[in-house]
């Protein structure tokens, strides 16, 4: 049995930038403190929501190091460390391990993609490079490929592969993978609108965009599920469904960074090729934040 890196709601945290384009570490401290104070169970840094794909390797490692040092063990820190190049993923994983990350999040190769045999070789090589637990990340909408249940099963045999962030929305795949892997692979939802159904199958929680603006509520949905109170968890998830949809009205993290700005955080501009949220979507997002009473 593999103990999960965390249970509950982990925030896929935004990375704030100064007007000069550099990471704003002072604002980052405030955002991290706010998350921990409001019940977030773990912090995922430099993932998709943290705009890792627009960072250099050196900057990426610097943000991981800062995050691990500042969180200082208050909650687990999971570092985005994936790449479509195996050697780059290994380098990032080693950097994250050296910085003290509790785990790494490693996405399936994108653009060049690979076969299922290639996925097994890729992730086994990453898991072999350090003792840092690896969380696989399945997000076919971004990468153009998906794990099969059998591939999940093969990867679950590696002692350093702890689990998977599942954002495929394919519950048939998920059910079969959970059946095959049992306690040897933990699963977390990668979609905020699917927390309850995934956890009802045995998932351990969520890696959440919603947590950036509603950390207490995201944590509460997972807490209720972990306690078997699925009817209450469902009501709460459905209450937040319109806000969740608004946070994905354009490509993540465009809407969530605008939401953070609307709430008063100094998150700065997005890095190209991401651009400002449209005026129409900004109005809709603001209305949802106001309706749900979101605030700093």
Q: What is the DSSP string of 22-72?
A: SB-HHHHHHHHHHHHHTT--EEEESSTTTTGGGS-HHHHHHHHHHHHHHHT
In which band, very low, low, confident or very high, does the pLDDT at 30 lie, cut at 50, 70 and 90? very high
pLDDT of the residue at 1: 87
Backbone torsions φ then ψ of 3, nearest 5 degrees: -65, 130
Q: Given this structure, which CATH class describes domain 8-249?
A: alpha beta
What number is the average pLDDT over the span 106-131?
97
Q: What are the structure tokens assigned to 180, written together?
A: 């095959």
Q: What is the DSSP string of 130-149?
A: -SS-EEEEE-HHHHS----H
Q: Quick one: CA torsion of 106, 143, 17, 15, rounded to 10 degrees? A: -40
pLDDT of the residue at 180: 98
Mean pLDDT of the chain: 97
pLDDT at 283 over 90: yes
Q: Look up 137 and say whether it is catalytic.
A: yes
pTM (predicted TM-score): 0.97
Give the domain ranges of the chain: 8-249
Counting residues of the chain whose pLDDT is more than 70, the rounded percentage is 100
Q: What is the DSSP string of 166-195?
A: E-S--HHHHHHHHHHHGGGSEEEES-GGGH
Residue among 152, 165, 204, 258 flagged as catalytic = 165
Q: Look up 111 and say whether it is catalytic.
A: no
pLDDT digits (tens, 9 = 90+) for 186-221: 999 999 999 999 999 999 999 999 999 999 999 999
Residue among 18, 25, 30, 137 flagged as catalytic = 137
Kind and range of the H or E run holding 99: helix 86-99
Q: What are the structure tokens assigned to 57, written together?
A: 């390797």
pLDDT digits (tens, 9 = 90+) for 72-89: 999 999 999 999 999 999
pLDDT of the residue at 49: 98
pLDDT at 9 over 90: yes
The answer to whether the CB of 104 falls within 8 A of the CB of 135 is: yes
């Amino acid at each position: 049995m593999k103990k999960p890196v965390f249970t509950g709601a982990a925030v896929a945290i935004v990375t704030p930038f100064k007007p000069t384009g550099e990471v704003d570490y002072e604002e980052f401290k405030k955002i991290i403190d706010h998350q921990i104070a409001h019940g977030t169970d773990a912090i995922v840094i430099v993932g998709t929501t943290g705009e890792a794909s627009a960072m250099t390797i050196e900057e990426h490692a610097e943000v991981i190091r800062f995050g691990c040092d500042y969180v200082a063990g208050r909650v687990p820190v999971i570092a985005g460390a994936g790449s479509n190049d195996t050697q780059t993923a290994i380098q990032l994983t080693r950097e994250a391990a050296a910085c003290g990350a509790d785990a790494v999040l490693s996405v399936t190769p994108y653009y060049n993609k690979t076969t299922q045999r290639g996925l097994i070789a890729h992730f086994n090589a990453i898991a072999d490079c350090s003792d840092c637990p690896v969380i696989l990340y399945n997000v076919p909408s971004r990468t153009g490929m998906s794990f099969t249940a059998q591939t999940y099963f093969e990867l679950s045999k590696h002692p350093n592969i702890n689990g998977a962030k599942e954002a495929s929305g394919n519950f048939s795949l998920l059910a079969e993978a959970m059946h095959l892997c049992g306690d040897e692979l933990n699963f977390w939802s990668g979609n905020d609108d699917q927390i309850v159904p995934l956890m009802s199958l045995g998932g351990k929680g969520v890696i959440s965009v919603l947590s950036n603006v509603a950390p207490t509520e995201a944590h509460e949905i997972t807490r209720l599920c972990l306690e078997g109170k699925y009817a209450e968890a469902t009501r709460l998830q459905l209450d937040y469904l319109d806000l969740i949809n608004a946070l994905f009205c354009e490509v993540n993290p465009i809407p969530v960074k605008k939401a953070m700005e609307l709430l008063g955080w100094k998150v700065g501009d997005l890095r190209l090729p991401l651009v400002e949220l449209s005026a129409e979507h900004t109005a809709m997002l603001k209305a949802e934040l106001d309706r749900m009473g979101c605030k700093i």
